[in-house]
């Protein structure tokens, strides 16, 4: 299989899981290379996602690493299997790869939980609101770059409309509801769309009022993507330098606790919808 100098986050994650299995088994790269009949450099490249790994090789490694978790191994095999190109691939070469990685992460998740304190959830942006958000980036983006990002953000909503839509739970701080990206009319339209989206069977949106006081975290946007098995859960955080992806168990535990706090502090789904309507009327 040909190598890739720019692996996707999903390819890097598969490699990281293979490395984790190997180290847990106390095996060396030389041992893995011997199993597969390749040199150690190719094993190292597989483990960083630069070199694709065939599904049958995933099973060979898992078997010889004494990994008996069938669902976990099956999930890794599925990651290794060649698939049709995702819709996000149409943007490769025109948008930062991190944005494509977010779309791929959402598409392969079985459940998504998010926490927002400044922006509203990206999967529910109207084009006007998204345009205002991307128009406030520093350094400033060109008009073409803004429109590409808006189009990509609108396309991300496909994960909510496909044959088996992803289950989504979003926690939104009141401050995010009151931020007027794009002005009064754009914000009012955005809040109306948010209320409409919250009525979907697979969507639950919960508001954390400002009177709840202090909250954990640094106020950054948080996306927790539940994998087909817990070992493949992933956290994605926004940063000034692009998205960051985390999957160490300590990190997952920390952000699960963060979201659990938000859930305890948030209003119920129906009460949250009423709250959003009130904020919209106050604009």
> Could you report the per-residue pLDDT of 31-89, keeping only the tens digit for each?
999 999 999 999 999 999 999 999 999 999 999 999 999 999 999 999 999 777 899 99
Measured between alpha carbons, how far is 136 from 186 in angstroms, rounded to an integer?
A: 15
Integer Cα distance of 219 and 101 in angstroms: 22
Give the mean pLDDT of 142-147: 97
Q: Which contiguous run of DSSP H or E holds residue 133?
A: helix 127-134
Q: Tokens 């998204």, residue?
A: 130
Which two tokens mark 122?
A: 């990206």
Q: Tens of pLDDT along 149-180?
A: 999 999 999 999 999 999 999 999 999 999 99
Mean pLDDT score of the chain: 95
Q: What are the chain's domains?
A: 9-80 (1.10.260.40), 88-282 (3.30.870)
Q: pTM for the complete prediction?
A: 0.94
Phi, psi of 67 (to 5 degrees): -90, 115
* pLDDT value for 4: 62
Q: What is the 3-state secondary structure (H, E, C) of 152-200?
A: HHHHHCHHHHCCCCCEEEEEEEHHHHHCCCCCHHHHHHHHHHHHHHCCC
DSSP state of 202: T
- Region of poorest pLDDT, from 19-28, 42-51, 208-217, 244-253: 208-217
Per-residue pLDDT at 3 exceeds 90: no
Which of 92-101, 177-186, 211-220, 243-252 is predicted least confidently?
211-220
Beta-bridge partners for 92? 95
> What three-state secondary structure class fits 240?
coil
Place of tokens 């979907």: 200
Give pLDDT, residue 85. Answer: 87
Residue 1 has pLDDT above 50, yes or no: no
| Res. 217: pLDDT tops 80 | no
Round to whole Å and give the CA distance between 23 and 27: 6
140: DSSP letter: P
pLDDT at 15 over 70: yes
Residue 262 pLDDT > 60: yes
């Amino acid at each position: 299989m040909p190598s890739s100098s720019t692996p996707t986050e999903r390819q890097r994650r598969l490699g990281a899981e293979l490395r984790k299995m190997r180290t847990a088994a106390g095996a060396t790269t030389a041992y893995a290379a011997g199993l597969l009949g390749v040199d150690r450099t190719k094993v190292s490249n597989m483990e960083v996602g630069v070199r694709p790994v065939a599904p049958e090789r995933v099973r060979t490694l898992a078997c010889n690493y004494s990994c008996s978790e069938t669902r976990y191994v099956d999930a890794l095999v599925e990651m290794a299997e060649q698939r049709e190109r995702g819709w996000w691939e149409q943007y490769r070469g025109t948008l930062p790869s991190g944005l494509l990685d977010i779309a791929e992460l959402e598409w392969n998740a079985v459940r998504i939980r998010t926490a927002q304190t400044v922006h509203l959830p990206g999967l529910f942006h109207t084009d006007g609101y998204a345009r205002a958000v991307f128009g406030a980036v520093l350094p400033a983006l060109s008009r073409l770059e803004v429109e590409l990002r808006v189009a990509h953000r609108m396309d991300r909503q496909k994960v909510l409309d496909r044959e088996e839509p992803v289950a989504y739970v979003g926690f939104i701080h009141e401050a995010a509801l009151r931020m007027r990206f794009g002005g009064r009319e754009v914000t009012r339209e955005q809040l109306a769309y948010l209320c409409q989206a919250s009525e979907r069977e697979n969507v639950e949106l919960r508001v954390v009022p400002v009177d709840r006081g202090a909250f954990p975290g640094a106020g950054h946007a948080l996306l927790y993507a539940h994998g087909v098995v817990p070992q493949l859960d992933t956290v994605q955080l926004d940063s000034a330098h692009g998205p960051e992806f985390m999957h160490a168990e300590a990190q997952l535990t920390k952000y699960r606790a963060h979201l659990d706090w938000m859930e305890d502090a948030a209003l119920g789904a129906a009460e949250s919808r009423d709250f959003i309507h009130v904020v919209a009327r106050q604009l």
